[in-house]
C-alpha cells in the first residue's frame, strides 16, 4: 500500500481523490494549504504528492522545492485550473512528474496515479528560468499545449509541431528553446519552404572555398551554426527527398560534411520541426522518408486553430493591441462580438494583422468594427492526396483517435465528434438554399422541424 498526500483547498476535490485512492488500495492524507501539507510531509513519508497551484498562503509552485526536500524522489503531480505557459514550465522545472488540468475526472486522476507509481523517479531536469516569447491563452486546449511545451523543454527529445498556418508554431519552438537547458546557445531557424532547391544543401551543410563559381569564401552551414543549441526546421515537409537522406546521416552520426570537403565536423543540437502538412500522408505518398518522420516525431505537439479557442480571441486582441502600441486601446462591444464570430482562417497571424490595421485606422482609443479589415477568405485546402475522400477520412480518424485517447471525453466521443462536424454540414446546406428550411431539410434528408431544432441547438437559427 502506497501513501499519497493531496494538497488542495477545494474539499470536494479532496474527498473525491481520497475515495479514489482508497479504491485503488492506497492511503491518502489531505491538506488544505501548502503549509499544512509541508508539516505532514516533514513528519511522515509519502510515495506521491498531488499539489494544487492556487492555495491560501504559499502557492503550490513556490512550495515545491520544500516538498522535494521532504519527499525525495517521490513524484509530484501539479493540479491547476489556471494554467499558462509560465505555470507549466515552472511546474516541470521544479520537478513535477505531471501536470493535471482542472476540471478533470477521476479516470484521468487514476491513470495519472498509476503512471506516477510506474515511473522510477520524478523528472527533475534543471531548466533555464529565462522566459521566451509570450504565448497567450486561457482555454483548456491552450493549457494542454503549455503543458506539452513545458514537458518538451525539460528534455532533449526531438519535437514535431503541427498545426495550420498562423497558429503560432514558431512561437512554440522559441518557447521550448528558451525554457530548455540549451537556451544560452544558438536557436537556428531553417525556413525550408523559402530555400532555393539549388542552394538548400550548401545552406544547411556549408561549403568549402571554390566549391562553385559563386563560393568566393568557405561558409559554415546552418547545421554547424546550431551546434550546442536548437535547430528549428520550419515547414519541414518542403525539404527535398535528396536532402532528407543527408539529414538522416547527420542525425545518425552527429556530424556534418560540408560540400566539397572530405572532413566532417562533429555537431550536437536539438531538433524542433514544424509543419502545416500531414507528414504521415507525405510518407504514404513517398514524398517524405519514413525513418526521418519517426526521428523528428519524438514528441508531438498539435497547436489548435483559433476557431477552436474562441474564448482566447479577446485576450489575444488586447495583448496584440498593447504590444503594437495601443496601450490605452479598448474594444467596443460590437467589435468584441465581431472578433469572436469571425472564422480567422489565417489564425493568429490574421488576428495580429487585423489589430495592427485597426490601431492604425482609429484616431481614438476605442476600436470599432469599421476599423477592422475585411476577413480573409477561406483558402482552398490543399489536398494531401489525389483522393479527397481519403484525406477527409484521415482527418476524421485522427480527430476520433484524439477524442478516444482523451479521458475527459470518455462516454462522450460520439456526441463531441458529431458536434464538431454537424454544424458545418447544416450551415453549408442553409447557405446553399438561402436559409430556406424546407429545401435544405429535403437535401439533407431531415424533417424540417428536426433541422430547425438542430440549428437552435447549435445557436445557428436565423
Q: 233-291, pLDDT tens digit by residue?
A: 999 998 888 888 888 888 888 877 666 566 667 888 999 999 999 898 889 888 899 99
The set of residues, in sequence order, having a beta carbon less than 8 Å from that of 402 and lying 6+ positions away, is none
Position 32 pLDDT exceeds 90: yes
* CB-based contact 237:382 (threshold 8 Å): no
The residues near 158 (Cβ < 8 Å, ≥ 6 apart) are 270, 271, 272, 273, 295, 296, 297, 298, 299
Predicted pLDDT of residue 249: 86
Residue 169 has a pLDDT of 93
Of how many residues is the chain composed? 462
CATH number of the domain located at residue range(s) 316-371 in this protein = 1.10.8.60
155-165: pLDDT as tens digits: 899 999 999 99
Q: Which residues are 302's β-sheet partners?
A: 162
215 versus 322: the higher-pLDDT residue is: 322
Is the model's pLDDT at 199 over the cut of 70?
A: no
In this predicted structure, the answer to whether residue 127 has a pLDDT above a threshold of 50 is no
Q: What is the pLDDT of residue 200?
A: 66
The predicted model gives 156-181 an average pLDDT of 91
Same fold, 3-124 and 316-371: no
| pLDDT band at residue 323 under the 50/70/90 scheme | confident
Q: Kindly tell me if the per-residue pLDDT of 95 is higher than 90.
A: no
User: Does the domain spanning 388-457 belong to CATH 2.40.160?
Assistant: no
DSSP E strands, 150-269: 159-162, 187-191, 206-207, 219-220, 230-234, 255-256, 265-266
pLDDT at 125: 33
Lowest mean pLDDT among 61-70, 139-148, 299-308, 388-397: 388-397
User: In the numeric block, which cell numbers belong to residue 292?
Assistant: 526521418
Q: CB-side exposure of 379: number of CA atoms within 13 Å?
A: 12
pTM, 2 dp: 0.60
Fold exhibited by the domain 3-124: Rossmann fold (3.40.50)
**CATH domain 151-302 topology:** Rossmann fold (3.40.50)
5: confidence class by pLDDT, cuts 50, 70, 90: very high
Report pLDDT digits (tens) over 362-407: 866 789 999 999 887 765 444 444 444 445 666 777 778 777 877 7
Q: For the chain, give every domain's residue range.
A: 3-124, 151-302, 316-371, 388-457
Amino acid at each position: 500500500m502506497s501513501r499519497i498526500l493531496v494538497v488542495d483547498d477545494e474539499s470536494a476535490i479532496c474527498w473525491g481523490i481520497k475515495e479514489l485512492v482508497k479504491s485503488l488500495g492506497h492511503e491518502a492524507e489531505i491538506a488544505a494549504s501548502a503549509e499544512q501539507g509541508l508539516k505532514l510531509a516533514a513528519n511522515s513519508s509519502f510515495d506521491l504528492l498531488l499539489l494544487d497551484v492556487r492555495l491560501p498562503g504559499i502557492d503550490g509552485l513556490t512550495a515545491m522545492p520544500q516538498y522535494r526536500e521532504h519527499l525525495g524522489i517521490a513524484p509530484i503531480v501539479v493540479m491547476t485550473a489556471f494554467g499558462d505557459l509560465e505555470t507549466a514550465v515552472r511546474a516541470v522545472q521544479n520537478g513535477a512528474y505531471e501536470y493535471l488540468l482542472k476540471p478533470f475526472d477521476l479516470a484521468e486522476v487514476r491513470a495519472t496515479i498509476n503512471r506516477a507509481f510506474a515511473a522510477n523517479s520524478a523528472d527533475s531536469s534543471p531548466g533555464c528560468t529565462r522566459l521566451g516569447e509570450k504565448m497567450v491563452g486561457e482555454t483548456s486546449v491552450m493549457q494542454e499545449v503549455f503543458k506539452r511545451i513545458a514537458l518538451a523543454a525539460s528534455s532533449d527529445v526531438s519535437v514535431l509541431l503541427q498545426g495550420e498556418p498562423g497558429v503560432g508554431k514558431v512561437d512554440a519552438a522559441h518557447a521550448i528553446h528558451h525554457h530548455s537547458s540549451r537556451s544560452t546557445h544558438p536557436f537556428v531557424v531553417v525556413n525550408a519552404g523559402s530555400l532555393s532547391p539549388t542552394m538548400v544543401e550548401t545552406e544547411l551543410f556549408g561549403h568549402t572555398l571554390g566549391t562553385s563559381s559563386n563560393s568566393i569564401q568557405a561558409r559554415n552551414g546552418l547545421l554547424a551554426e546550431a551546434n550546442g543549441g536548437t535547430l528549428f526546421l520550419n515547414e519541414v515537409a518542403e525539404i527535398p527527398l535528396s536532402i532528407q537522406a543527408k539529414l538522416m546521416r547527420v542525425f545518425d552520426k552527429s556530424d556534418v560534411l560540408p560540400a566539397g570537403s572530405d572532413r566532417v565536423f562533429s555537431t550536437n543540437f536539438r531538433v524542433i520541426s514544424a509543419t502545416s502538412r500531414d507528414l504521415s500522408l507525405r510518407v504514404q505518398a513517398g514524398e517524405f522518408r519514413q525513418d526521418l518522420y519517426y526521428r523528428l516525431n519524438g514528441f508531438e505537439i498539435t497547436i489548435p486553430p483559433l476557431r477552436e479557442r474562441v474564448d482566447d480571441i479577446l485576450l489575444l486582441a488586447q495583448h496584440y493591441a498593447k504590444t503594437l502600441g495601443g496601450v490605452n486601446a479598448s474594444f467596443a462591444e460590437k467589435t468584441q462580438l465581431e472578433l469572436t464570430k469571425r472564422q480567422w482562417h489565417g489564425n493568429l497571424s490574421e488576428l495580429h494583422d487585423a489589430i495592427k490595421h485597426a490601431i492604425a485606422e482609429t484616431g481614438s482609443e476605442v476600436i470599432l468594427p469599421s476599423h477592422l479589415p475585411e476577413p480573409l477568405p477561406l483558402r482552398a485546402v490543399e489536398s494531401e492526396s489525389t483522393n479527397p475522400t481519403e484525406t477527409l477520412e484521415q482527418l476524421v480518424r485522427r480527430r476520433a483517435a484524439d477524442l478516444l485517447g482523451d479521458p475527459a471525453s470518455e462516454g462522450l466521443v460520439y456526441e463531441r465528434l458529431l458536434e464538431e462536424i454537424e454544424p458545418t454540414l447544416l450551415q453549408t446546406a442553409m447557405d446553399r438554399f438561402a436559409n430556406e428550411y424546407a429545401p435544405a431539410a429535403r437535401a439533407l434528408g431531415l424533417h424540417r422541424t428536426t433541422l430547425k431544432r438542430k440549428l437552435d441547438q447549435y445557436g445557428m437559427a436565423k
